[in-house]
Amino acid sequence: MSIGEVRASRRIVFSGLGALGVAAALAGCAGSNGGSTKTKVSAGTELATTAEVPVGGGIILADQKLVITQPTAGTYDAFSAVCTHQGLLVTSVEDGTIRCANHGSAYSATTGEVEGGPAPSALAKVEIKVDGDKILAA
């Protein structure tokens, strides 16, 4: 599997270095899932594998409304993928920034804090744990 591929079964939007085109193409689809700020994932649920999350980038899990990032090699973070501006899903992760192309908000891929755009507040942090090569909801 290459970065930039979308697996329909888990609706992961891969985003990272070199995947900008795919992320942009999917922005309209992801945006239609917004509206709720709830992230519903049971503890222990496998969210992704570590190999699926590019260093410096991340993946957007549209169904779970989560974004998982790997700001530096071996460090994984997760946040709500629901933009705090108007509740649409964020659209890409690149160069350490989670972006919402809907209106131009940007968030830190490390902390979820707002880095730019109209978003009024940070993305909510979501607890995860890494078990071997699996990333699980905590």
Question: Does residue 26 touch ligand FES according to CB under 6 A?
Answer: no
Please, what is the minimum distance in Å from the beta carbon of residue 113 to ligand FES? Answer: 15
d(CA 25, CA 42): 30
In the block, which residue shows the tokens 């979501």? 126
**Of 102, 123, 126, 137, the one binding ligand FES by CB under 6 A:** 102
Q: Which of residues 36-65 bind ligand FES (CB under 6 A)?
A: none
Beta bridge partners of 72: 75
CA distances from 20 to 6, 39, 101, 121, 124 (A): 13, 25, 11, 25, 24
Q: Which of residues 70-89 bind ligand FES (CB under 6 A)?
A: 83, 85-86, 88
- Residues near ligand FES (CB under 6 A) are 83, 85-86, 88, 100, 102-105, 117-119
